Amino acid sequence: MSAYFEIDRENDKRIDCFILEQNQCEPHFHSNLEMIYQLEGETEATINGKTRTLRPGEVSIAGSYDVHRYASLGTTRAILLIIPVSLVPSFALLAKGKTFTKHFLEDGEAGRQIREAAERLVVENGRPEPLVSKGYAYAILGILSRELGLGDQPKTGSTDLAREILVYLEQHYLEDLNIEKLARGFGYNKDYLSRFFNSYLGCGFNRYLNLLRSRHAARLIDQTNQPLTDIAFQSGFGNYRTFNRAFSAAFGITPRDYKTSAARGT
């Protein structure tokens, strides 16, 4: 479960392509290119405030620092492709100062070509022949550039505001924080910021904040032997009941059961 500026993605300098089931990912951004090819079921994808339901054969592409989130609608399977821009310098030069004009590709011949290349990347994933992976990655980016187009980055404050909010929350989620304090800090009315959070980021403020705190709690459970009550308070929750409910919603398992499974190494 990711819901933040993804430092892990920034540090992982390799092309990564794999089959993903039940894609649930809250608003986040990073410098890498991120593509979804929908194989089965439907996934709601939101990129820079624009939402589309991906159906089998359809594709989404998030460019560098585009704010994006995914939510599976039932049982789903998809191919997830992560491409560090530094590994595709020719594309980076072509796309400098530009972004994809559109972020979604409908089912069709271009999508089938992308699927063939992506499936080869799944097979190549982790193998020590980076040139092969780069070749398929360039092919996919070439098709997407041709079909979706590259244009000048739009001058809009919405994306910048979304990034600023996500970075701020990543740095302050352990503090006593609510939508009123966030709004004051950014100079907005709390009702406006609440609407912005839901419409642009596709996720309510409280849910997002609880996800960040639950992620922190999961790390503490993995790395320490502290009582769950202590972990709840150290993770920013005001009481254990809220912690239990938020953690269960985030991971589909109670903190107690998670701790038991972690202790068993399962």
Return the minimum-mean-pLDDT range out of 25-29, 46-50, 91-95, 175-179: 25-29
**Per-residue model confidence (pLDDT) at position 82:** 94
Q: Annotate 214-250 with b (16+ C-beta within 10 A) or e (fewer).
A: bbbbbebbeeeeeebeebbeebbbeebeebbebbbeb
Q: How far apart are CA 148 and CA 222, in angstroms?
A: 43
Decide if pLDDT at 10 tops 60. no
Q: How far apart are CA 236 and CA 175, in angstroms?
A: 6
Q: How far apart are CA 33 and CA 66, in angstroms?
A: 9
CB of 98 closer than 8 Å to CB of 153? yes
- Chain segment 214-240, per-residue pLDDT in tens: 999 999 999 999 999 999 999 999 999
CB of 22 closer than 8 Å to CB of 74? no
pLDDT category at 126 given cuts 50, 70, 90 is confident
Residue 47 pairs in a beta bridge with 50, 68
Decide if pLDDT at 5 tops 80. no
Decide if pLDDT at 179 tops 80. yes
| Nearest alpha carbon to residue 204 among 169, 184, 179, 172 | 179
Mean pLDDT over each residue of the chain, to the nearest integer:
89
**Per-residue model confidence (pLDDT) at position 224:** 92
pLDDT category at 22 given cuts 50, 70, 90 is confident
Positive or negative: CA dihedral 156, 191, 189, 171: negative
Angle between helices 130-148 and 109-124 (to 10 degrees): 160
**Per-residue model confidence (pLDDT) at position 56:** 98
- Chain segment 23-75, per-residue pLDDT in tens: 888 888 888 999 999 999 999 999 988 999 999 999 999 998 888 999 999 99
Task: Tell me the mean pLDDT in the region 170-177.
Answer: 92
Q: How far apart are CA 189 and CA 50, in angstroms?
A: 23
Task: List Cα–Cα distances, 223 to 103, 174, 199, 211, in angstroms.
Answer: 39, 18, 36, 18
CA angle 4, 8, 9 (to 5 degrees): 85
**Per-residue model confidence (pLDDT) at position 170:** 86
